[in-house]
Amino acid sequence: MPSKLVNATELRPGSFVMLDNSACVVKSIDISKTGKHGHAKARIEAVSILDGKKHITVMPGSDRVQIPIIEKRRAQVLSVKKEEKKASIMDLESFETIDVSIDANLIDDIQEGIQVEYWNVEGIKIIKRV
């Protein structure tokens, strides 16, 4: 999957970053001042897009971090399996039918026939918005 590299100090809350091989959204970033013999450090707190786990890391501010390219697309829900947290959807541009995971916060809102937004994150597809 394509991605780009940026310095750790360029990250902002709300931006996306790859931490521990998981696509995450940055919740907060603290950047320390440079010392007499050292470099600025960046403390990054982020939450995984796919499973909601919290990731905290500290790295030099000049280190390069990977930014995932997230493809956001629209689809129509064909069927829902709430116990498995999965849905069968049809992409509204390519008309292909795919099975995707449902974000835990949206389980009760997903119904057959509605339009949703699904994200393709590092090859994993998940419904993120109704």
CATH number at residue 109: 2.40.50.140
Domain that holds residue 75: 71-129
67 and 18 in contact (C-beta within 8 Å)? yes
Q: 3-state DSSP call for residue 104?
A: helix
Whether 93 and 117 share a structural domain: yes
CATH number at residue 31: 2.30.30.30
| CA-closest candidate to residue 115, choices 81, 86, 73 | 73
Whether 18 and 37 share a structural domain: yes
Q: How many domains does the chain have?
A: 2
Question: What pTM was estimated for this model as a whole?
Answer: 0.78
pLDDT in tens, 56-70: 999 888 889 999 888
Mean of pLDDT over the chain: 87
pLDDT in tens, 40-99: 898 999 999 888 899 999 988 888 999 988 888 999 999 888 788 888 999 888 889 999
C-alpha distances in Å from residue 93, one per residue of 49, 75, 97, 111: 24, 8, 11, 20
Whether 120 and 88 share a structural domain: yes
Rounded distance, CA 62 to CA 126, Å? 32
